[in-house]
Amino acid sequence: DTEVTQTPKHLVMGMTNKKSLKCEQHMGHRAMYWYKQKAKKPPELMFVYSYEKLSINESVPSRFSPECPNSSLLNLHLHALQPEDSALYLCASSQGYDRVEPDTQYFGPGTRLTVL
Amino acid sequence: AQSVTQPDIHITVSEGASLELRCNYSYGATPYLFWYVQSPGQGLQLLLKYFSGDTLVQGIKGFEAEFKRSQSSFNLRKPSVHWSDAAEYFCAVGANQAGTALIFGKGTTLSVSS
């Protein structure tokens, strides 16, 4: 099973709201990722958690705050977003280490975020 | 610097015809290469991957890809396209280090005509 789940599927929020995106995997993966994808563009990496520690932050604005409560869960807390933050937010996970095969990322279905 | 180029932005293929999507990469070491497919409004689904060994790799949904080191290419093929194959296809290269970013190409949109 290579399933990554994300909730909610759709989210509409105002610029003063606080909301959270949730991602879950039960594959025993130790690396989890947040990507942002605008229409007709490839995904862009935002954050990586490796063994529950933030290992990569691609200079993302502080209005996006990631959290990894345990090895199966990844949250993205949103506050004071701008309309240009509207996008598809994708979560991915990978085993987190190279063994016989390369570390392969598996993606969730995404959360479609609209900021009004 | 690592990069991935997908030369074709949009391709239209008749249903039942063969398909080839092109991908060229630039990477200093032996690359880990991936093809993902994304249906509208959906996440990315892994089609296949290559890291070593046989240069022709088989994936899901009848897709295959061939790694050609001399041409720095990893083209995706399917002998007979179905209408359900219409989607966005991304080629990506991964670093030889776990827990790092995938470098994506800009994607190719596949349309299937009847």
Q: For chain B, list the strands marked E by DSSP.
A: 3-5, 10-14, 19-21, 24-26, 32-38, 44-50, 56-58, 64-68, 73-78, 87-94, 102-104, 108-113
Cα–Cα dist A111/B24, whole Å: 30
d(CA A88, CA B9): 20
pLDDT tens digits along B58-87: 999 999 999 999 999 999 999 999 999 999
**CA-based nearest distance A35→chain B, Å:** 9
- A1-37 in b/e form (b: 16+ CB < 10 A) is eeebebeeeebebeeeeebebbbbbeeebbbbbbbbb
For A50, nearest residue in chain B (alpha carbons): B99
Contacts of B94 in chain A (CB under 8 A): 102-105
Whose tokens are 């080839």? That residue is B20
Q: Which residue is associated with the tokens 């609209």?
A: A114
% of chain A residues with pLDDT over 90 = 88
Tell me whether residues A43 and B104 touch, CB distance under 8 A. yes
Question: What is the tens place of the pLDDT at every residue in B17-72?
Answer: 999 999 999 987 778 999 999 998 889 999 999 988 889 999 999 999 999 999 99
**CA–CA min distance B105, chain A (Å):** 7
| Distance separating alpha carbons of residues B36 and B45, to the nearest angstrom | 5
| DSSP 8-class letter at A64 | E
- Which chain B residues are within 8 Å of A27, Cβ to Cβ? none
Q: What's the mean pLDDT in B98-110? A: 92
Give me the mean pLDDT over the A79-107 stretch. 89
Chain B 35-94, residues with CB within 8 Å of chain A CB atoms: 36, 41-46, 49, 51, 90, 94
